[in-house]
Structure 1
Amino acid sequence: MEPFPADAENQNYVTVHALSAGFLDWPDQYFVQPCLEGARTKAPSLAFLIQHHSPKTGRPTRIVFDLGIRKNIDTYPEVLKTHIVNHLSVITEPDVSDSLRLGDLSPEDIGFVVLSHVHWDHVGTPSDFGMSRFVVGNGSLGLLAEAGNPPLAGSTSLFEADLLPPERTTELPGVDEEAQGSSGGGGGTWQKFGPLRNVIDIFSDGSVYLVNSPGHLDGHLNLLVRLGPGKFLYLAGDACHDRRILRKELGIATWKNLHGEVCCIHSDKEATEKTIDLIVGLEKMDGVEVVLAHDVEWLNREGNKKRFWPGKM
């Protein structure tokens, strides 16, 4: 796999802190195959705080990547709430706002909220972040506008038309393969960066990259950040839900709904598999750590609990 470009002279780095944002208990049959009948997984919904300091002024810009599960599930749409209550056992505390306060920050300190995608277990409570700007991938606003018209996957893909404040929300442009440059640049344009075909360099200093990550849902984004010399962290969102899929021990589940239609937790299974293959390659590279949004194995790994805010990655 093509390596990432070397650090620039006077390269800027960021600090990243995991945030607890709830847990959900899901039936394995909708995520992995083969699986034992009735098997379930208790998975975290992880969010992340990214702190970038301007090399000129030293002033911080704080980003939260994903908002996890909503603290008050009564405020989800009724059909979605019913699905959560009947099929999932969720833990909603602490949510992202609570987790930030553990390190003496509050939602008012967050400049930007980047959503990996707009599924219910990633959007949290945007109204808590009344001072933040929201960033979503291309196609996300169209999904929100559909509201009560879910795709085949069913009620878990219900969306809320009024989820985000229009005046503070930016939807990224679509990917134009023909217009790509040779290196990851800023300015809101998609460019190539090492093995990644489409990234946007948020601060134009090579420290934080938005990554177009197709397959799971329209507008699905990942995040690549530089933590130190030759040290990268790749936040993979819902590109994969189980590390056994990354290791090729299990496959992505499909099932038939009541109408006989084949469903998958990913809107485009083939594109998802290509994205997963890329992530597998990234994880094999020296200096690259990959964390999934529902990463049970990462959470249970010795020492990672110390990496939650106010600890750091």
Structure 2
Amino acid sequence: MRHLACAVAAMILAALPAASHAQSGGVERLYILNCGEGKAGDISRWSPGVNEGQSMDFVDNCYLIKHAQGWMLWDTGIADAVASMPNGLPPSDPKAVTWHRPKTLIGQLEQVGVKPSDIKVLAVSHTHPDHIGNVELLPDAMLYVQRAEYDWPGADGRPRFKKDHPVTLLDGDRDVFSDGSVIILATPGHTPGHQSLLVKLPKTGEIVLSGDAVHFRSNWDSRRVPAMNASKEQTLASMEKIAGVLTKDKAQLWINHDKAQRDGLKLAPEFYD
């Protein structure tokens, strides 16, 4: 009996460090970074047949995630160079968004004590310029992107990323840190390899970062699909996938470009934990 008691005690002691580590693991903080502000010339571009001729203010968010295993950045926003353009970055389509960059990505990282080299994991919702403008400011961060997006030809057939940027190509969902706290969700439709992100915070709870699976709340509520999307059918299926995650995980939906929602959230250096 004495030997059995000693063996049980040894097993309990051996398990304690692992339990302590599990409690201290996962996501610790989530920062919302201002990665662009602008005005759309005509929001019927995103909601065909609705809101014809109406303009709308847009925002562009990036999200800095502090995980027990290191720093992760979700989306990189409008290129920092736009911050030096007094009139912003005008679009080729007058219906689209004229973007401004009130704060640089690098400046906001510095504000919370993070250097670009500290970020080990980088993921982008998709490859439109307002989401990948600063990818190459993080040349050593491992880039997580869907294979369908990576292989999708860019302008004039050019690749969408530098070939020497370290990359992990995905063919569906991915548990980034293998602990269930940060999960990339494949949500194609807006682009061939669009993806969203589920983040599980200890106090705030679970949040789905939409990317451009949807652009503003009324489009989500009415399941509207922008005319420029790669696939209407995939977009609608991805919206239903997100809706299922929201229900299953009792998660919030943070819509990336929705200014009305973003105005009610805390921006860096404040954070969610």
Q: TM-score range by the shorter chain?
A: 0.7 to 0.9
Equivalent AA in structure 2 for residue 247 of structure 1:
D
Instruction: Report the TM-score, using the length of structure 2 for normalisation.
Output: 0.79
**17-26 or 227-236: bigger deviation:** 227-236
| 8 Å contact from structure 2 (residues 90, 99) kept in 1 | no
- For 1:20, the equivalent position in structure 2 comes to 34
CA-CA distance at 1:174 after TM superposition: 2.6
- Quote how far apart the aligned CAs of 1:235 are: 0.9
> Residue by residue, what CA displacement relative to the aligned partner does 1:69-125 show, whole Å, maximum 9, x if unpaired?
112259xxxxx9761789532112313222212212232221121111101110012
2:192 to 205, 210, 218: 218
Aligned equivalents of 2:74, 2:249: Cα separation in 1: 24
Pairing 1:185-200 to 2, within 5 Å after superposition: 199-200=173-174
Question: Which of structures 1 and 2 has the bigger CA Rg?
Answer: 2
The alignment of Structure 1 onto Structure 2 pairs a total of residues equal to 245
Aligned residue for 1:122, secondary structure, equals helix
Q: Residue 270 of structure 1 is aligned with which of 233, 236, 241?
A: 233
Task: After TM superposition, list the pairs within 5 Å mapping 1:92-107 onto structure 2.
Answer: 92-107=101-116
Runs of 4+ in 1 over 6 A off after TM superposition: none
C-alpha separation in 2, matches of 1:90 and 1:233:
26
After superposition, the Cα gap between the structure-2 partners of 1:96 and 1:85, relative to the gap in structure 1 and judged at 3 Å, is farther
Find the counterpart in structure 2 of residue 37 from structure 1. 52
Q: Does residue 167 of structure 2 align to residue 207 of structure 1?
A: no
Question: Counterparts of 2:134 and 2:93 in 1: how far apart (Å)?
Answer: 16
* Alignment partner, residue 62 of structure 1: 71
User: Could you report, residue by residue, the CA deviation over 1:270-310 in whole angstroms, capped at 9, with x for unpaired residues?
Assistant: 11012112323444556411112212232122xx1x3x222
* CA-atom RMSD in angstroms: 2.8
Q: What residue is the counterpart of 2:6 in the other structure?
A: none
1:167 alignment partner, one of 164, 169, 173: 164
Secondary structure at the counterpart of residue 151 of structure 2? helix
Distance 1:295 1:81 in 2: 20
Following the alignment from structure 2 to structure 1, what is the Cα–Cα distance between the partners of residues 201 and 101?
29
| Equivalent position amino acid for 1:265 in 2 | M
- Alignment partner for residue 225 of structure 2, among 228, 252, 268? 252
Deviations 1:192-249 (A, max 9, x none): xxxxxxx21111111111111111112211111210179211111000011112222x
User: Hey, what's the Cα distance between the residues in 1 that align with 2:170 and 2:216?
Assistant: 29
Aligned-partner residue type, residue 30 of structure 2:
V
Q: 1:287 to 1:141 in 2, by over 3 A?
A: closer
Identity of aligned residues (%): 24
Give 1:57's aligned residue: none
Residues 1:280 and 1:173: Cα distance change in structure 2 (over 3 Å): closer
> Which runs of 5 or more structure 1 residues have no equivalent in the other structure?
1-8, 55-60, 75-79, 150-159, 176-198, 254-263
Residue matched to 1:188: none
Contact 2:45 2:96 in 1 (8 A): no
More helix by share: 2
> What runs of 5+ residues in structure 2 fail to find an aligned partner?
1-18, 84-88
